[in-house]
Chains A and B, each alone.
Chain A
Amino acid sequence: MAPSSSWSLRVAAGIGLTFILLPLAALLLRVDWPDLGTHLAAPVVGQSLRLSAVTTSATMVLVWLLGTPLAWQLARSDHRLTAWARALVTVPLVLPPVVGGVALLMAWGRRGVLGGPLEAWFGITVPFTTVAVVMAELFVALPFYVVAVEGSMRGLDRRYDQVAATLGAGPLRTFFTVVVPMVLPGIAAGSALAWARALGEFGATITFAGSFPGRTQTAPLGVYAALEQDPQAAIALSVVMLAVSVVVLGVLRTRWLR
């Protein structure tokens, strides 16, 4: 027995572990395994999973395109406002997602700060569209990616940038040929976290994009919607998401989170 372990500590630890495992086990117990195939064939399952695949993929492309340069700027800028920017970027990490959804509505809604002119001048409506789903996912997922990648980038010795510069590489070339390859593990870990967060996104999406099957009803919204009409479909969908989460975690563990 480890010297730091006493029976009271072990009991508390056991209760904690059980609390996490029990619902997962219950979910697996309630699955109608023999008919799982037919339940997965329910329209809500395929439709919402497809939409989740499409929107999280689009989200990840945007996360890479915007998040990687943002992380680099935060990692290397010595400006006094950088500390503020760094703090603000992490706000969505702790913000209740519903509040994020409301904030997105205030910005992009039909009477929103940006949404109003967009509607008036170009006739473009953002809320309650698939685009809005992607925006909600981006809003909650981007900070996870930026925080992870910025950490790796800040750990990168500045002398690598300096040597690259003296070799004739401008800032852009240094970024693509030195910085990004050297922080790939951080990018992979950040991507996995961001993608998992985007996949699970519920509160901001339902507030900003609603729950329209085939258009804005992603897998988590599909589970919630199906729970009353077709509980077995909801359970089947949940099991698929559980499996995906376990796979992502497994890949992370073996490769980057030792």
Chain B
Amino acid sequence: MTPVHPPRSSFAPALDAHLVVDRGDFVLDVELQTPLGVTALLGPNGSGKTTALTALAGLTPLTRGHVDRGPARWSGDGVHLAPERRGVGLVLAEPMLFPHLTLLDNVAFGPRSRGMPRAAARDRAREELARVGLEQLARRRPGEVSSGQAQRAALARALATDPELLLLDEPLSALDPDTRTRTRADLARRLRDYPGVTVLTSHDPLDALTLADQLVFLEAGRVTQTGTPADVVARPRTAYVASLVGLNLLSGTLVRERCVTSVAGTTDVTHRSRTSVDEGWTVRLAGSSLVLAEPPAGAGPGEQVWATVNPEAVALFTARPTTSARNLWQLRVDSVTVTGQRARVHLGGGVDLVAEVTLGAVAALGITRGQQLWAAVKATEIHTYPA
């Protein structure tokens, strides 16, 4: 009955999984190879994040594929280890502490279930509670502690069994903003001491960027992008990822073409003498094009590239401006959203762009939905990379 735990060492192979869950109207097909450390699964609602976690835990049977944790096979080739035989810890959005047990007995539940004597299990539970700062509340029932404390107790409970794989399903999403910030810090601190593999799901980029070493994006049951947080922030590859990290993402064909360049920073190329015609790089989009300052590394003419534009680098004008910016479009305002002192202006017609401006600018320009505006982006503000 005791689960087989491979010896823990710094060389322990980590998680290798291919999860295929076919529900008829929804198919999850995800390959995950993760090192020790924290991997975040991100994606919109319904993308399959939770299904992937429950499949790793053994709570959802695989239609196909496998789950290997180190040398131990948990699923695949006719093997299906029951959840209680795997070394997994599970923390959900709600703490799901057993309401009839004290925090101490909740945390001791795992060690007890795995055959540890009562006193030893309670000692272990006390230790785990102390590591999340809850030793004073060990005698309380779940109904008598705050939501943040309950979630920390749930984390302690999951870690009290020394799981090989820790699964966190939207662990902070049910908390109010203040509690979330504090609990995120507690979680990050506790995860640093945890030597196993952690897979967490979230739709909050902040969770992923602050907690995870590796990000895996899921959309409609498939992996659409993986990478380190720094890589993903700099080089999103899907519209969802781009919107999550707050960038405009455009895709097109890289072309090298002759274009007119003003040399002295002048603004009207037709009436000045010091202009030159030279070779330049542009990205041909559907119905428009982007002038680049320099070509992307690793891509040649005719190849597909991604281009990102920081919304703050998009300048807006009510009339055709005199500007040195090499990219200028007349666009339609589709919508305006406000966060704090900043407004995001969603533009369409020719190019889909989001511009981020101050509330003052919205007022000064009198921006309303349906209005035509001029949008300018400097060539140096466009970052490109191979698709």
Contact = CB atoms under 8 A, between A and B. Distances in A.
A91 interface: no
A165 B83 contact: yes
A170 B113 CA distance: 8
A167 interface: yes
Nearest to B116: A168
B99 interface: yes
A168 B113 contact: yes
A162 B99 contact: no
Interface in A154-201: 157, 159-160, 162-170, 173, 177-178, 181-182, 184
Interface in B176-216: none
Given A157-B96, A162-B59, A170 B90 contact: no
A215 B92 CA distance: 56
B88 interface: yes
A165 B84 contact: yes
B90 A177 contact: no
Given A162-B57, A162-B90, A168 B84 contact: yes
Interface in B73-105: 82-84, 86, 88-90, 92, 94, 96, 98-100
Contact of A169 (B99, B100, B113): B113
B252 interface: no
A154 to B, nearest CB: 17
A106 B222 CA distance: 60
A159 B100 CA distance: 16
Interface in B148-172: 157-158, 161, 163, 167
Contacts of B54: 162
B114 interface: yes
Interface string B16-57: 000000000000000000000000000000000000001001
B109 interface: yes
A167 B54 CA distance: 14
B74 to A, nearest CB: 12
A177 B1 CA distance: 18
B100 A170 contact: no
A163 to B, nearest CB: 5
A160 B95 CA distance: 10
A216 B92 CA distance: 55
A164 B92 CA distance: 12
Contacts of A168: 3, 84, 110, 113-114, 161
A157 B98 CA distance: 11
Given A173-B113, A182-B100, A165 B82 contact: yes
Nearest to A165: B83
A159 B113 contact: no
Nearest to A180: B100
A162 B96 CA distance: 10
Name the residue among A157, A168, A177, A184 with the largest chain B CB count within 10 angstroms. A168
Contacts of B99: 182
Contact of B109 (A157, A162, A164, A170): A164
A220 B3 CA distance: 56
Nearest to A177: B109
Nearest to A166: B90
Contacts of B89: 166-167
A143 to B, nearest CB: 27
A48 B267 CA distance: 110
Contacts of A178: 98
Contact of A159 (B86, B92, B167): B92
B98 A160 contact: yes
A170 B81 CA distance: 12
Given A162-B59, A178-B98, A167 B109 contact: yes
A222 B348 CA distance: 88
Nearest to B90: A166
Contacts of A157: 96
A184 B99 CA distance: 12
Contact of B88 (A166, A170, A184): A166
B57 A167 contact: no
Contact of A167 (B1, B82, B94, B157): B157
A169 B84 contact: yes
B57 A166 contact: yes
Contacts of A166: 57, 59, 83-84, 86, 88-90, 158, 163, 167
Contacts of B90: 162-163, 166
Interface string A32-51: 00000000000000000000
B373 to A, nearest CB: 49
Given A163-B90, A182-B99, A182-B100, A170 B59 contact: no
Contacts of B100: 181-182, 184
B110 A159 contact: no
Contact of B113 (A160, A162, A167): A167
Nearest to A160: B96
Contacts of A165: 57-59, 82-84
27 contacts: A157-B96, A159-B94, A162-B90, A163-B90, A163-B92, A163-B96, A165-B82, A165-B84, A166-B59, A166-B83, A166-B88, A166-B90, A166-B158, A167-B84, A167-B89, A167-B109, A167-B113, A167-B157, A167-B158, A167-B161, A168-B84, A168-B110, A169-B113, A170-B1, A181-B98, A181-B100, A182-B98
The 7 closest A-B pairs by CB, nearest first: A167-B110, A165-B83, A168-B113, A169-B113, A166-B90, A168-B114, A181-B100
Given A165-B57, A184-B100, 11 more contacts: A159-B92, A162-B59, A163-B90, A163-B92, A164-B98, A165-B59, A166-B90, A167-B84, A168-B84, A168-B113, A169-B109
